[in-house]
Structure 1
Amino acid sequence: MSAESQAEAESPSSEDEGAHKKHLRSTALHIPGRGRILLEGPLTPEAILRLREEGTLDAPWAEVLLRMVQPPAQSPLDAHEVRSLAERLGFLSQRSMAKGFTLTLPRGMQFEACLEAFNQRALDALEAEAYEVPDVYDPSVSAIAELTEHYERQGRVIHVNNGKSSARNAWRLSYAADPLLFAWLGGRKLLRGALPYTVYTHTRFLRSFQSGELNGLDKVRQFSFPELHTFLPQEAMAERYLWHTRQMAQAMEQLMGRGWVQRLEVSEELAAEHPTLLSALAEAVNVPTLVLTFDRMELYYRMKTMMVADAGYRALMLYNMQWDELNGARFGITLEDGTPVSILHASLAGGISRLLPCLLGQALMGKREQTLPVEYSRPHLTLYAVGGVTDAAAIARRSLGDAVHVTAVTPERLGKEISNLKQAWHPYFAVIGPGEAAGEPLRIQSTQSKDTVPAAQWLEQHAGRLALFRPTRELQRRQGLPFR
């Protein structure tokens, strides 16, 4: 799969609306501290390796870019390796499921809850309002039929047998929030003074990917993903797009550090209309930005942003933005004076379908410890009560307070319990015996080493991220499942 087709597959909404393919006009790579580098033709593995060898491009960034342009066969991991690990660790299961569908288990649900807590800060900054769209749409609405035409031609839309006499009139399972949300707003006049207006939907995507496209993790036939649609006047789009980029870049850095890159696809017409915008978007992030300028865009958007990280088997998009001036007019969504609104499509970080495979893939490649980061773990800390101690959790709270989620266990064989904890990729534990019960300082140990640190030092190191990812509800009550 080419870099372009990979990128299209990553987009929450990918409707090709033109019979003619877009043609690449220019390729530029903006590198922090190094400026803008114009390339001849598309970005190639050879160009990336040359820039890395020259010292122009740091190795972690080069690896993400390589994963974007290299064939999957040249990747260090296979998607099924990551999926198998996710299954072994108890995040999801394909056991007894139809091909391309997965069952999310309690550990996976808890992971999603932690990421939802993290995403809530972005929703607050955006002043987004939550909607819930149905899983079914009616293609007899002409604007919906036009929007979804390309997906229909590809056979990517799942039809529902609802008693209609023909496939043309059958209901469809929703592949994104766009058709129903836009149809509901169709014909309405939005108040300029109330804009921008951002709608948040945690959408369940149902897509008829073919067997050869499935990998059982991020390209499956059903997955959930947080989508955003901001409605605003056309003249406000450039400023809002830049502001939104800064917001998402900050979130991306909190999730992935600096191990990611930004990719922009833009029409040459839009680039000419806003001559300083591309440089501003590149400067808004602290990582390289790959800018691909085309003669035209094949889809409904004039520009697309993808913030991608390396999952080992390919580059995965965690955040996405699209500049849309078509669907407002198509659905008759206008300002009070009849001017069609513009729509900024975006996504927030998805858990099981996006962030988890990145974390697991990077761990399998040796870029991270083979443990789940503590902020996503339940419990944060496993307590082993020995020497007759019966109130280990209360003892731990003296040092850690209530911000740390703990589980107390009385082990039959301590070494075996710690080994099992490590195999399950749980990050930390503490042994609480009579000494700790009598007031000796509590010490925390990683499952990845024999070193221990005082509880106060451990809490100072992790408290910020524990708060950032603290869910409002607990969805995983125990370690493991109650069967063998």
Structure 2
Amino acid sequence: MTAVSSVQVLNPSGELLWKGEEADLAEFLVDQPAGNSALARLAGTASGACTRNEVTELADQLGFISRRGTPKGFLTVLPPGSLIDESLKSFNRAHLARLNANLVDFPLVFATDDGEMGQLVSAYEEQGRMFRFDDRDRSLRLSYAADPNLFAWMRHTRADPQRLPYTMVSPQPIFRRFQSGELSLDRARQYHVSDVHTLCSTMQATDVFRETVARAAEAMEFWFGSDYCQIVDTVMGTEFDQQHAYQALARAVSGLTIVRHLARRPRYYAIKGGLYVDAGFGNVMLFNFQLDDTNSDRFDVRLDDGGPIAVIHSTVASGVPKLLPITLGRGLADVGPRAVPPELARHQVVLVPVREHHHAAAERLAAVLRTSGLRVAVDAHLNKSLGHRLAALRTAWQPLFGVIGDREMAGEPVILDGPAAIDRPTLDEYLIRDLERLQRCAPTAESDWSDPPMRPWHRSRGGTS
């Protein structure tokens, strides 16, 4: 690991709060006001915890993913999990539109048969992180990111400076050979990611980097408010090592910014940053950014006048690989509610009729709500007690439910309850407040996202189940 020479902490106004050795950072963070779980996790004062294995097991139990029949480290994403991924695609449209991103699809295979590509992927090669082909195609690798094919495509090109910055997004499955002990829901050997790359002049690079962070911070705050932090690694002595640039990055986010000064480059970037949120088992980087001033020179990518180009690497939010394990982990560690966010849940609201004669009213209300685009279900387990049914919904991490009884049939407002209904709003109040959030995440794919009809079955010795 690259040694950290010093660390500074900036507030959201860009003001310096602390500077010192990395070993003393936790002690400083302990004295910060309570309320930021990511900082508490860094300081070692987090009140709850879970493990990655517990999160993966829960995702399997709740039917988001399955490990049944898959090679080790690979996951089958089931319809409720696919709904999360599709909802994030819809959510990310606004993010990508703000970046003016253009879609570029790269192959899932790249070649390592030249020196420049070998240098780019050397760390992954040395660590055995890539999947290789057999001897006949021994130079080929499955893509661990869009980067190799991006630079292979851009090699020996010149860019019109009048058209910069220019942003590309490349959604694709990627493959990484995590070791057995590393495997978890957020470290699967195949998962889907949307890599974002912005080409710009080196003069534009710090402004483009800051703008990229600001757009990600808007997305972060949609899901977690200000309960996150920014960590920036910067290489000392580069042209981008400027205090005013770090202050601008701090002003782009709501939480504290931790800047770690590195004595030498760990890889190809001059600055690397990330927005981190507490996932119960540790802080997870939901968004990452890199200011790459190396690879354009390595692959002979320049401006028309021969001037240098910088590449800003970043990502948008992903569902099953990131947001799902963060959500489940926060719930298990009591950092957040034990519920799937309504924006991502198969049923955003479940209506629960108290008795048989309330069922028709619940169905009528559900039909009205569906016209607004809500995913609504009516609980039909009327042979079980109301308490049993509500407990089952909580166990299933159902975010919101509303009981339909005599008072609701008589015209009183439906009160929403559940792990995501902390203030117990009426149904109308909730829709006024949050319908726009739900609509932003509405998937375009047509599906009811229902569970497959199969269940585990084992043949008995006598040949019957």
Deviates more, 1:120-129 or 1:143-152: 143-152
Deviates more, 1:171-180 or 1:202-211: 202-211
Quick one: structure 1 residues 75 and 453, their matched pair in 2 at CA, closer, same or farther if it must change by over 3 Å? closer
2:329 alignment partner, SS class: helix
Give, in whole Å, the separation in 2 of the partners of 1:162 and 1:434.
Answer: 72
1:172 alignment partner, SS class: strand
Deviations along 1:113-147, one digit per CA (max 9) or x if unpaired, are: 11111111111111111122221111114322221
Which residue, out of 149, 158, 162, partners 1:189?
158
1:156 alignment partner, SS class: coil
Deviations along 1:50-75, one digit per CA (max 9) or x if unpaired, are: 5434xxx12233x4235347699x98
TM-score (normalizing by structure 2): 0.88
2:22 matched to 1:23?
A: no
1:61-460 alignment, distance < 5 Å: 61=36, 63-65=37-39, 67-68=41-42, 76-161=49-134, 163-164=136-137, 169-214=138-183, 216-270=184-238, 274-384=242-352, 386-387=356-357, 389-390=359-360, 392-398=362-368, 401-414=371-384, 415=386, 416-432=388-404, 440-448=411-419, 453-460=425-432
User: Residues 139 and 172 of structure 1 are in contact (CA less than 8 Å); yes or no, is this contact kept in structure 2?
Assistant: yes
**What amino acid does structure 2 have at the position aligned with 1:100?**
G
Quick one: structure 1 residues 447 and 272, their matched pair in 2 at CA, closer, same or farther if it must change by over 3 Å? closer
**What amino acid does structure 1 have at the position aligned with 2:182?**
E
Partner of residue 12, structure 1 = none
**What amino acid does structure 1 have at the position aligned with 2:331?**
A
User: Residues 388 and 433 of structure 1 are in contact (CA less than 8 Å); yes or no, is this contact kept in structure 2?
Assistant: yes
Deviations along 1:258-297, one digit per CA (max 9) or x if unpaired, are: 1110000001113775341111111221211110011221
Please report how far the alpha carbon of residue 377 of structure 1 lies from its aligned counterpart in structure 2 after TM superposition.
1.0
Give, in whole Å, the separation in 1 of the partners of 2:250 and 2:322.
Answer: 23
**What amino acid does structure 2 have at the position aligned with 1:27?**
V
**What amino acid does structure 1 have at the position aligned with 2:237?**
E
Give, in whole Å, the separation in 2 of the partners of 1:239 and 1:475.
Answer: 41
2:10 matched to 1:41?
A: no
Which residue, out of 401, 420, 433, partners 1:461?
433
User: Residues 174 and 192 of structure 2 are in contact (CA less than 8 Å); yes or no, is this contact kept in structure 1?
Assistant: yes
Identity of aligned residues (%): 29
Deviations along 1:71-98, one digit per CA (max 9) or x if unpaired, are: 99x9822111111111111111112221
Quick one: structure 1 residues 65 and 391, their matched pair in 2 at CA, closer, same or farther if it must change by over 3 Å? closer
Partner of residue 472, structure 1 = 444
**What amino acid does structure 2 have at the position aligned with 1:67?**
R
2:238 alignment partner, SS class: helix
Partner of residue 9, structure 1 = none
Partner of residue 8, structure 1 = none
Please report how far the alpha carbon of residue 334 of structure 1 lies from its aligned counterpart in structure 2 after TM superposition.
1.7
2:22 alignment partner, SS class: coil
TM-score (normalizing by structure 1): 0.85
Equivalenced residues, count: 450
Give, in whole Å, the separation in 2 of the partners of 1:418 and 1:82.
Answer: 23
Give, in whole Å, the separation in 2 of the partners of 1:353 and 1:144.
Answer: 27
**What amino acid does structure 2 have at the position aligned with 1:114?**
S
Quick one: structure 1 residues 425 and 474, their matched pair in 2 at CA, closer, same or farther if it must change by over 3 Å? farther
User: Residues 83 and 449 of structure 2 are in contact (CA less than 8 Å); yes or no, is this contact kept in structure 1?
Assistant: no
- Structure 1 segments unaligned to the other structure (5+ residues): 1-20
Please report how far the alpha carbon of residue 321 of structure 1 lies from its aligned counterpart in structure 2 after TM superposition.
0.6
- Structure 2 segments unaligned to the other structure (5+ residues): 456-465
